[in-house]
């Protein structure tokens, strides 16, 4: 593990103690698609052992270096990995999960993206789901209401993508173009994730397809530039809340060569510097949103803001995710680079009514975020791996998840690993996480895992907002 990721023992001890006190002897259960969830916190530098789940329930199993104490994975039962399996794993495991968790010595605490009736049933009588309530998440994430949320939070107009809300039938394309002042449009609806509910519209046929989705709609002008994600943590403090803003990423979307469709993320890279004005604006706006959510809904814990970094160095917000996200795991490395445990540890602690005394003052943290964001300093990345073919395959010729070196166009096993910083991208290394077993049948479109590493920039996976770099092409 690189020395630059050292987390002080006193800080680790304080975080571990606070989470254990909040858990109060109850077993921690992870219920996420990847059974290696939270691994950045417990398998990395300064491991917070209290964050290692006693049980992980999910779609894809963990692996030795990242394993929780016990795993219930749908894929181990079906031997199949594909788009359908990743959407239905909670259905497939409903009965087994209820039985397994009911047999625990004490009612569990379930960590998940957001709380649902099913997860509450899994937790059982006396159990707890330590996650944002699903109904509140849907209300806040409603894409058609996002502009109103930014307005209520006091985010300046210049940081809002020009957009209109349409409550009824979508008007004609020419009228929508006039309303938002753009030839290319982005039509969004609902509160879904992974790019679902987002359509790019340039023709009448595109608009007809977008109109098949249920409204109300947010119709925005297309803004060219880098997409970005920022992880934000809100912690109750006194009579208000302290809001901590992580370093913003550069996110590539719609990368066809990686099998990623239009509007969908191919992954995130935190090694690229941001313009100073944009970084300052982003942090200020994120704090405003966090404070607003606390005032209006008493929201504590993690949420994410998606933004666009334009070619002239401005930042414009386009979406909020009131929950853990696909970025949560690897973005935790940013906090470890600054000597702190990942935000996920504080998230669980405060949702359980505890405190996070290891965190510095929010103003100091956010000032350091801006200073870090504008410099070329090491940062993590992850690249989503997809089966891009048209027929089922098995992933053969590899040794499963771990650190590989890219040599002569081939992946060569180097060592076990579970943390993004186990791999040095600048030296041609990559951590392949959550790979399927060689016996698993992978259907077209299946998630094959993620490629992760730490880089100073030369090993970054993306060359442009919609294209892989040479390093990313080799890793993917």
Instruction: Give, in order, the Cα–Cα distances in Å from 361 to each of 23, 142, 241, 242, 288.
Output: 25, 31, 11, 8, 16
| pLDDT above 80 (res 375) | yes
Q: Are 475 and 403 in contact (CB under 8 A)?
A: no
Instruction: Give the whole-angstrom CA distance, residue 153 versus residue 448.
Output: 39
Band the pLDDT of 59: cuts 50, 70, 90: very high
Joined together, the tokens standing for residue 63 give 């692996």
Instruction: Give the whole-angstrom CA distance, residue 290 versus residue 343.
Output: 15
Q: What is the pLDDT of residues 155-205, one digit of tens each?
A: 999 999 989 999 999 999 999 999 999 999 999 887 676 667 788 999 999
Joined together, the tokens standing for residue 320 give 């909020």
Q: How many Cα neighbours within 13 Å face the side chain of 303?
A: 26
Average pLDDT of the residues of the chain: 94
If one compares 278 and 470, the residue with the highest pLDDT of the two is 278
Instruction: Give the whole-angstrom CA distance, residue 123 versus residue 119.
Output: 6
Instruction: Give the whole-angstrom CA distance, residue 324 versus residue 233.
Output: 10
Q: At 275, is the secondary structure helix, strand, or coil?
A: coil
**What DSSP line would sit under 314-382, residue for residue?**
-EEEEEEE-S--TTHHHHHHHHHHTTS--HHHHHHHHHTT---TTS--HHHHHHHHHHHHTS---EEEE
Instruction: Give the whole-angstrom CA distance, residue 424 versus residue 459.
Output: 8
Residue 3: per-residue pLDDT: 39
| pLDDT above 70 (res 262) | yes
Residue 140: per-residue pLDDT: 96
Tokens 């806040």 correspond to 140
Residue 195: per-residue pLDDT: 63
Q: Are 431 and 417 in contact (CB under 8 A)?
A: yes
Instruction: Give the whole-angstrom CA distance, residue 259 versus residue 341.
Output: 33
Residue 11: per-residue pLDDT: 96
Residue 349: per-residue pLDDT: 98
**Highest mean pLDDT pick, 56-60, 141-145, 210-214:** 56-60
In 3D space, the residue among 364, 304, 292, 333 whose CA is nearest the CA of residue 433 turns out to be: 333
Instruction: Give the whole-angstrom CA distance, residue 238 versus residue 241.
Output: 7
| H or E element, residue 241 | strand 240-245
In 3D space, the residue among 102, 475, 103 whose CA is nearest the CA of residue 269 turns out to be: 475
- 467-468 and 462-464: which strand pairing? antiparallel
Band the pLDDT of 1: cuts 50, 70, 90: very low
Q: Kindly state the average pLDDT of the residues 43-54.
A: 95
Instruction: Give the whole-angstrom CA distance, residue 294 versus residue 202.
Output: 38
Band the pLDDT of 87: cuts 50, 70, 90: very high
Band the pLDDT of 474: cuts 50, 70, 90: confident
| pLDDT above 50 (res 240) | yes
- 80-81 and 379-386: which strand pairing? unpaired
Joined together, the tokens standing for residue 112 give 């998940």
Query: What pTM was computed for the model?
Result: 0.94
Show the CA angle centred on residue 463, arms to residues 460 and 467, nearest 5°.
120
Residue 193: per-residue pLDDT: 64
- 128-133 and 163-166: which strand pairing? unpaired
Q: At 306, is the secondary structure helix, strand, or coil?
A: strand
Joined together, the tokens standing for residue 394 give 């098995």
Q: What is the pLDDT of residues 113-163, one digit of tens each?
A: 999 999 999 999 999 999 999 999 999 999 999 999 999 999 999 999 989
| H or E element, residue 253 | strand 250-253
| H or E element, residue 250 | strand 250-253
Burial of 429 (0-12, 13-18, 19+ CB in 10 A): buried
Instruction: Give the whole-angstrom CA distance, residue 50 versus residue 120.
Output: 22
**Torsion 84-90-95-101 (CA) sign:** positive
């Amino acid at each position: 593990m690189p020395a630059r990721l050292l987390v002080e023992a006193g800080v680790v001890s304080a975080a571990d103690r606070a989470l254990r006190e909040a858990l109060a002897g109850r077993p921690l259960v992870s219920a996420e698609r990847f059974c290696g969830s939270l691994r950045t916190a417990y398998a990395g530098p300064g491991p917070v052992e209290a964050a290692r789940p006693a049980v992980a329930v999910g779609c894809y199993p963990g692996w030795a270096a990242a394993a929780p104490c016990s795993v219930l994975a749908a894929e181990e039962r079906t031997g199949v990995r594909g788009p359908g399996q990743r959407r239905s794993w909670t259905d497939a495991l409903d009965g087994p999960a209820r039985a397994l968790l009911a047999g625990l010595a004490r009612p569990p605490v379930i960590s998940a993206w957001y709380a649902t009736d099913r997860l509450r049933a899994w937790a059982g009588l006396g159990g707890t789901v330590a996650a944002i309530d699903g109904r509140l998440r849907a209300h806040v994430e409603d894409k058609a209401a996002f502009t109103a949320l930014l307005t209520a939070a006091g985010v300046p107009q210049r940081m809002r993508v020009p957009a209109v809300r349409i409550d009824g039938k979508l008007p004609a394309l020419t009228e929508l173009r006039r309303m938002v002042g753009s030839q290319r449009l982005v039509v969004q609806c609902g509160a879904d994730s992974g790019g679902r509910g987002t359509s790019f519209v340039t023709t009448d046929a595109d608009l007809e397809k977008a109109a098949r989705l249920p409204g109300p709609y947010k119709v925005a002008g297309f803004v060219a530039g880098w997409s970005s994600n920022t992880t934000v943590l809100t912690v109750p403090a006194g009579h208000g809340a302290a809001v901590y803003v992580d370093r913003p990423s550069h996110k590539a979307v719609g990368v066809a060569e990686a099998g990623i469709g239009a509007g969908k993320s191919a992954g995130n890279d935190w090694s690229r510097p941001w313009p100073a004005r944009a970084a300052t604006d982003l942090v200020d706006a994120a704090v405003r949103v966090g404070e607003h959510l606390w005032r209006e809904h008493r929201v504590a814990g993690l949420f994410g803001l998606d933004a666009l970094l334009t070619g002239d160095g401005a930042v414009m917000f386009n979406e909020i995710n009131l929950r853990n996200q696909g970025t949560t795991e690897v973005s935790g490395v940013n906090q470890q680079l600054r000597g702190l445990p990942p935000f996920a540890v504080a998230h669980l602690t405060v949702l359980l009514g505890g405190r996070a005394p290891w965190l510095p003052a929010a103003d100091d943290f956010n000032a350091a975020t801006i200073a870090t964001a504008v410099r070329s300093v090491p940062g993590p990345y992850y690249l989503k791996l997809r089966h891009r073919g048209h027929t089922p395959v098995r992933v053969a010729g590899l040794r499963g998840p771990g650190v590989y070196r890219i040599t002569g166009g081939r992946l060569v096993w180097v060592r076990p690993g579970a943390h993004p910083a186990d791999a040095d991208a600048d030296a041609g290394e990559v951590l392949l996480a959550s790979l399927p077993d060689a016996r698993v049948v992978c259907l077209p479109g299946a998630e094959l895992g993620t490629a992760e590493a730490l880089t100073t920039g030369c090993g970054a996976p993306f060359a442009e907002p919609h294209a892989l770099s040479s390093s990313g092409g080799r890793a993917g």
